[in-house]
Amino acid sequence: MRADRLVAVLLLMQVRGRVTAAELAAELQVSVATARRDLEALASAGVPVYPQPGRGGGWQLVGGARTDLSGLTASEAQALFLQAGPAAAVSPEARAALRKLLGALPRTFRTDAEAALDATIVDPVRWGERDRPRPAMVDLLQTAVIRRLKIRLTYAGRTGDPAERLVDPWGLIDKDDVWYLLADTGRGRRTFRVDRITRAEPTALPAERPDDFTLAAAWQEVADEIERRRSRTWATVLVEERFVPVLRDQFGRHCRTDGEAGRGRVRVRVAAPTPLDIARHLAGWGALLDVVEPPAVQRELARIGAELAGRYNGDPERQSGQGQAADQGRAL
């Protein structure tokens, strides 16, 4: 384990040039004393690593010393190629990069890593859908993120006219084939759906990003907030236990079992943004489940049921005429 850590220390110093023991400790999740011992061990082994005393000092890798070691273990190499393989399948640049990395791996790692490269593909298109191309805007936005340049974009929100904004792009997220841009607008962090960006123009102005910013942590905050909004209304239903997986498919993470209810049924809690959203999901279940609470969801179910009964309990010929009229109206 220590050998892997020493290689990680060396690779980190290649990137940063100079580091402190405290920075290494935070990066490698070890104590400051352990980080200092690792640095001293490298120096004792003949690696040109020297301490620089005084303010702004630290440990420095001098003389242009470098290593060609990847520093990867066998399991790390396999995991990397498993994750990157799907991207390489659609990107010639990614595949070329992975082939170069494959050649840099120790020979004993290569067979499993190469097999992992072709072990998985990702098809984001659901059955019955046509292929959804990656938005052309993504490449432009990624370039601005990498080069840290401000972007002037025109964004059409769900309501209102498109508005122009000058933003600092922080990162892009692919959420189930829907792309989002996380950016600073000068009035705080915003999340933009890429398919609602009608125009984007990189500028020559440098973009700013907080020193402690990480895209994963920022997106987790956004995702948590969205999930909170999606679960503002909770309802309790009684259903046979065999139907619980179907409810989970409908409500995802907003479906929780809450104990036995007798007669082979269980109590289940489900959530959605509004009572109407829950009622729409549950209306098709008919008498297969009972909604215990809240009354607001019960009222929405009753209203939906009355609408359906009024529409479909009448004369069949009248219903057919209504359907034809509706079709003609849509055609016009």
Q: Residue 290: CB partners within 8 Å, gap ≥ 6?
A: 237, 238, 239
Q: Containing H/E element for 39? A: helix 32-44
The 3-class secondary structure across 49-99, one letter per residue, is: EEEECCCCCEEEECCCCCCCCCCCCHHHHHHHHHHHHHHHHHCHHHHHHHH
Strands 197-206 and 233-240: unpaired
Strands 233-240 and 149-155: unpaired
- Only one residue has tokens 């370039």, namely 143
For residues 24 and 21, give the distance between their C-alpha atoms in angstroms, rounded to a whole number: 5
DSSP conformation class of 47: -
Neighbours of 238 (CB within 10 A): 15
Per the DSSP assignment, residues forming a β-bridge with 163 are 155
With CA atoms as reference, report the closest residue to 247 among 227, 264, 223, 266: 266
Q: What is the pLDDT along the chain (332 residues), one digit of tens a residue?
A: 456 677 777 777 776 778 888 888 888 888 888 888 888 887 877 777 888 776 767 888 776 555 555 566 677 777 777 777 766 666 777 777 777 777 777 777 778 877 777 676 666 666 666 666 677 888 899 889 989 999 999 998 777 678 899 999 999 988 877 889 999 998 889 999 998 999 999 999 999 988 888 888 888 898 888 888 888 899 999 999 999 999 999 898 899 998 998 888 999 999 999 999 999 999 999 999 999 999 999 999 999 999 999 988 865 555 555 555 455 444 44
Q: Which domains does the chain have, with CATH numbers?
A: 2-61 (1.10.10.10), 74-117 (no CATH), 141-221 (2.30.30), 231-312 (3.30.70)
For residues 270 and 294, give the distance between their C-alpha atoms in angstroms, rounded to a whole number: 11
- Only one residue has tokens 């120096």, namely 43
Structure tokens given for 296 = 């607001």
The answer to whether the CB of 154 falls within 8 A of the CB of 196 is no
For residues 122 and 138, give the distance between their C-alpha atoms in angstroms, rounded to a whole number: 19
DSSP conformation class of 288: G
What's the distance, CA 239 to chain centroid?
33
The answer to whether the CB of 180 falls within 8 A of the CB of 194 is yes
DSSP conformation class of 18: E
Q: Please give the torsion angle defined by the CA atoms of residues 46, 36, 2 and 103, in that order, rounded to the nearest 10 degrees.
A: -60
